[in-house]
Amino acid sequence: MRDHREELPPNLWEDAPAIYADGMLFALIGRDEDLVHDIAAEAIELDESYLETFGESAGSQLRYYNAKLLAATILDDDRWEDLLSGYIEAVGQIVPTEIREQKHVASDLRARLYGALYNREGELFASVFEKYLRGYAANTPLDTDDPEELLNDELTALCLLANDRGINVTIDSPFVPDVLVPDPSEAIHVVEVH
């Protein structure tokens, strides 16, 4: 995507960080390690010209730093601490409203999850993961007919990444399909949210 930026319509370029982040998450769920690393390697190189073009929007800054921080987490990149600082600053710029407050809390928890993954801290990961999933469950009705509302692909992918990192954790929740995560009887940390 980066090599063809000039050819892309501005709205697609503005969505590039979200596309990279989604790509990494879906590649994790698909268990395609090479694709995960290829997307992460490209996302980490997303340059600051993106912020120069779209940086006035707190949402664009948040998407930019989220994609790069997730990539740095996946790649064990040395720039992780600097990217975390940028991410936290972007989270701080979210103007409080009820919906944005939920996003602020989720963004803070996401940063803590990435930190636990980067530092391979199993207890911390399981604790923060449970808080994140409980927040998601509180705002998502189980009686929905839309599987996209019910399935939390981000948490599924992060659970799989945690296991790839040696953090033996799984989820027992209707928001994450059993077939995608390790069996609870074989996990050290079981996060249960119903």
Contact between 23 and 74 under an 8 Å Cβ cutoff? The reply is: no
Q: Could you read off the pLDDT tens digit of each residue along the chain, which spans 194 residues?
A: 555 556 666 666 778 899 999 999 999 999 999 999 999 999 999 988 888 888 777 678 889 999 999 999 999 999 999 999 988 888 877 665 555 555 657 788 999 999 999 999 999 999 999 998 888 888 777 777 777 777 788 988 999 999 999 998 888 888 777 767 777 787 777 777 76
Give the pairing of strands 169-172 and 189-192.
parallel
d(CA 25, CA 31): 10
Contact between 107 and 135 under an 8 Å Cβ cutoff? The reply is: no
In the numeric block, the tokens 């994140």 are attached to: 132
The pLDDT value recorded for residue 96 is 58
The pLDDT value recorded for residue 18 is 93
In the numeric block, the tokens 């007919």 are attached to: 145
CA dihedral 142→147→151→153, nearest 10 degrees, is -160
- pTM for the full predicted model: 0.85
| Phi, psi dihedrals of residue 172, rounded to the nearest 5° | -115, 95
d(CA 122, CA 28): 19
The pLDDT value recorded for residue 6 is 63
